[in-house]
């Protein structure tokens, strides 16, 4: 049985660990505080990243930022302390590619490898296997962990050379932001026109004008149900900032993205980061209190 070491058992990491367990993998988890949820699901807990690396055949991490990734890999009790030669580390955090590449280089110097493999989808999409993983890096390393990639959630894609996974996710989240703003704008106009919003939703769901965002987010936009938030603005906004930097780096014009990002910037400035991304409707209509 392949033993997968999961570093980070938060809103994404824990459901990924459960999916791996469901597919028959042995899962060893690590986070700074014990995770009774992992234990109750059938996993075990490591005492440190180094302890986890010594016991696991494959490593997987999904963490909030580059500092957290550096800490679990090259920190005093990081995975490099006990990494077994040939170990592949599936790194799923959405962080700067150049900084992640520096961590990969350290892993390769220790005779392992690290893939850039971010996942596209909200935490609620992981358990039903609807989230997509974009795996990028050395082909032989991807081959070595293909069975793990297939068990993480939904489909996985060979994105290309290292860093292409992040760029795939940038494209996905650019579309998510733009489509969400377009859906909110259309619903707001329909409301101003006095139309039956449920009828508008139902009519457009399967039309050429519809989209998956319209279909999935439309009911929430229509009813202004922003909490609980399956996909908080603050999570999306972190990625929008990365997209903004990357598109400037490569010299790509993105007028639709720029408008969408400005609205989400405004939402963050008004303390609405904890609300669902669909609450951008309020930025369009001027209902921008922090707890609407």
Task: DSSP for 109-163, please give it.
Answer: HTT-EEEE--EES-GGGTTTT--EEEEES-HHHHHHTHHHHHHHSS-EEEEESTT
Query: Is the separation of the CB atoms in 279 and 233 below 8 Å?
Result: yes
In eight-state DSSP terms, residue 83 is P
Instruction: For residue 19, give Cα distances in angstroms to 82, 218, 285.
Output: 26, 28, 40
pLDDT at 279: 97
167-285: what CATH class? mainly alpha
- C-alpha 64/C-alpha 49 separation (Å) is 16
The CATH 3.40.50.720 portion of the chain extends over 3-161
Give me 173's structure tokens: 């989240």
Query: Which residues of the chain are under the pLDDT cut of 50?
Result: none
Give the model's pLDDT for residue 1: 73
Question: What distance lies between CA 52 and its chain's CA centroid?
Answer: 23
CA distance 141 to 138: 5
What fold does the segment set 3-161 form as a domain?
Rossmann fold (3.40.50)
Beta-sheet strands, E only, within the chain: 3-7, 26-30, 44-45, 58-61, 88-91, 113-116, 119-120, 132-136, 156-160
State pLDDT tens for residues 249-266. Answer: 999 999 999 999 999 999
- What is the predicted pLDDT for the residue at 289? 60
**Predicted pLDDT of residue 35:** 85
* Range(s) of the chain covered by CATH 1.10.1040.10: 167-285
Indicate whether this model's pTM tops 0.85: yes
Are residues 221 and 187 in contact, defined by beta-carbon separation less than 8 angstroms? yes
Q: What is the pLDDT of residue 69?
A: 98
- Annotated catalytic residues are 169
pLDDT tens string 21-61: 999 999 999 998 888 999 999 999 999 999 999 999 999 99
């Amino acid at each position: 049985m392949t033993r997968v070491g999961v570093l980070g058992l938060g809103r994404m990491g824990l459901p990924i660990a459960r999916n791996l367990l469901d597919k028959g993998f042995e899962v060893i988890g690590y986070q700074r505080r014990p995770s009774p949820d992992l234990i109750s699901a059938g996993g075990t807990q490591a005492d440190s990243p180094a302890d986890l690396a010594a016991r696991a055949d494959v490593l997987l991490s999904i963490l909030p930022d580059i500092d957290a990734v550096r800490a679990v890999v090259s920190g005093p009790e990081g995975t490099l302390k006990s990494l077994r030669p040939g170990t592949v580390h599936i790194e799923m955090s959405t962080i700067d590619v150049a900084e992640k590449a520096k961590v990969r280089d350290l892993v390769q110097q220790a005779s392992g490898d690290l893939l850039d493999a971010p996942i596209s989808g909200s935490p609620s999409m992981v358990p039903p296997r609807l989230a997509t993983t974009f795996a990028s890096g050395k082909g032989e390393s991807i081959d070595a962990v293909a069975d793990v990639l297939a068990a993480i959630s939904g489909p996985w894609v060979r994105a290309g050379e290292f860093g292409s996974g992040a760029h795939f996710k940038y494209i996905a989240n650019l579309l998510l932001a733009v489509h969400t703003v377009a859906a909110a704008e259309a619903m707001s106009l329909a409301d101003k026109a006095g139309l039956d919003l449920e009828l508008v939703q139902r009519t457009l769901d399967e039309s050429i004008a519809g989209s998956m965002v319209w279909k999935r987010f439309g009911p929430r936009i229509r009813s202004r149900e922003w909490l609980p938030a399956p996909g908080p603005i603050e999570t999306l906004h972190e990625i929008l900032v990365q997209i903004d930097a990357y598109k400037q780096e490569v010299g790509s014009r993105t007028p639709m993205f720029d408008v969408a990002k400005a609205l989400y910037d405004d939402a963050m400035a008004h303390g609405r980061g904890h609300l669902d991304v669909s609450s951008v409707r309020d930025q369009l209509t001027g209902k921008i209190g922090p707890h609407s």
